A and B are shown apart, each in its own frame.
Chain A
């Protein structure tokens, strides 16, 4: 059953106890922002306001938010083409992000990147459009921390499809041997584009692949924000303590589809599988947790409203931002020598 985590008794159970300092209400706020943002971005893509492909993150919000809540501002982050959730969880400005997706002058990267954003303000190095390719780049940021002794760690997000790429295995080898302060977060959603991973991999537990590289592994329910956060906190602590890299396998699901161009994707998933995952939606689960813990429903409803207003403002900002000057196409090929 696709909704269940694959059984693997050789691996220890996840320690999902809440971690001190974690604010689940703040996590809920960010997850609602990501969800609301993505729904509107898909709509804006249909209306051809967003340029290029949109790869939605809907259904996986707990991973980005749980991991980013375990980071400090000094830490480095590498994302990929499905990176809106990572960017917002990391604190990237929604106005600049949206203007970038609209190809406008006020975009985070001046309209040159669309979804493949970088943002030095939040140490978001790269959102690679090539599967697996950002993983060695994050390893390099971890090398810098190691050489400079600044205590920062580097985190990279990727799907399980990245484990098909040779450079990922090269990086796992290098990172373990060199004890790099690197946290690899695999968002295992069971699909590589429209292809089911079980059809193309001999081993669908990517945690075992990481273990074969002698990398410590945390396996978590990726729809459980608290569980993700607990694993990320442990991995970050180990990396800061000089114990080297960790691998987090977060089992999750994309409840929509792989990507959208002008029209919503016609991609279909088995109805039972999708329904099963929708019943375990990360926002609903965190909301239930908060309500059970005594949070007033009105508090959470207000966060939903806040998210709508914030996204409205970002869309308006993007719509009113000018197009880039044509000559900007030729700028910033080379850095100036300071």
Chain B
């Protein structure tokens, strides 16, 4: 089940709320099967492509399937069903069919899962028209976005959850979270020195960095986009046009979400001129994630790296 246990509570509430919600996973809670029946809580063989394909067929015919992919790396197993089929069916049928389905998975945490099982692949799905990509930076937002994903009908949702969100979970706030519209960034801190845009598990490190900088009198605008597709271009552009500096912070590779976000922002009139080259990245290197903690230590977006990036942009040369 999910490493962010509070999400299971939300999912259980939604199963209770809507009889069309069904859950497919290779492991399901016995209490759910007892309560909702084996038809709605399906324990499946290890067959992620079949599970996602079945979720599509179920979504097209009136159910609200949720597939737990477990690790985000396993999203690569289901690319055909997800990308070529689920993400296409509304467009392909010119609006005749819709596919409201949710795929959940865990991204990176300090778990030493190594090159195959520890990845932040959401950047790949940003270039996949037809899927929405949610990468919340807090447990509360994760709960809110899961509720939204299960209730609206626009199409398939990928919900990428960082295991680290569990370490800073305000259980009461998370459980009380109301559905949160996709495409609305959260401003965590206000400031004019630089815009810091942090994604998923890197939000925590960026918050610490922003606090450390504030102690020195450097106030940054810290934003968490919460969803990458749709992306709140307006909020981020407003900030960047004001600060003239942008630091992109992610625990995934720079060529993934950060590169795509930057590319989209540079289309905003005047934004490239406002930045004037004052752009920095704090990301994982472009290699697989090694297992040894000593090796992996270089791959995290730490507060120190974020502080250094902001200083580089704000110090006159």
Residue positions of A touching B, CB distance < 8 A: 76, 78, 109-113, 116, 118-120, 125-126, 128-130, 133, 135-148, 154, 166-167, 170-171, 173-174, 177-178, 331-338
Contact = CB atoms under 8 A, between A and B. Distances in A.
Nearest to B97: A118
B60 A130 contact: no
Given A110-B94, A335-B98, 16 more contacts: A133-B80, A133-B81, A136-B50, A140-B54, A140-B55, A143-B39, A143-B42, A170-B50, A171-B53, A173-B47, A174-B47, A332-B91, A333-B129, A334-B130, A335-B95, A335-B100
A112 B91 CA distance: 7
A138 B91 contact: no
Given A118-B97, A334-B155, A337-B153, A125 B57 contact: yes
Interface in B67-101: 80-81, 84-85, 89-98, 100
Contacts of A167: 47, 49-50, 53, 80-81
A136 B91 contact: no
B270 interface: no
Contacts of A113: 92-94
A144 B61 CA distance: 6
B88 to A, nearest CB: 9
B264 interface: no
Contacts, number: 163
Contacts of B57: 76, 78, 125, 136-144, 154
A102 to B, nearest CB: 15
B304 interface: no
A331 B92 CA distance: 10
Contacts of B100: 335
Contact of B155 (A111, A119, A335): A335
A109 B60 contact: no
Contacts of B92: 109, 112-113, 116, 118, 126
Nearest to B52: A136
B1 interface: no
B54 A125 contact: no
26 contacts: A110-B95, A116-B92, A125-B61, A128-B84, A130-B85, A133-B53, A133-B85, A136-B49, A136-B51, A136-B52, A136-B53, A136-B54, A136-B57, A138-B57, A139-B50, A140-B54, A143-B57, A144-B63, A154-B57, A167-B81, A171-B54, A174-B44, A174-B54, A331-B94, A331-B95, A337-B154
A334 to B, nearest CB: 4
A287 B132 CA distance: 53
Given A138-B57, A140-B53, A167-B81, A174 B93 contact: no
A154 B53 CA distance: 14
B101 to A, nearest CB: 9
B22 interface: yes
Contacts of B59: 140
Interface in B120-164: 129-130, 132, 152-155
A335 B60 CA distance: 12
Instruction: Find the residue from A111, A138, A146, A167 having the highest chain B CB count within 10 A.
Output: A167
Nearest to A334: B154
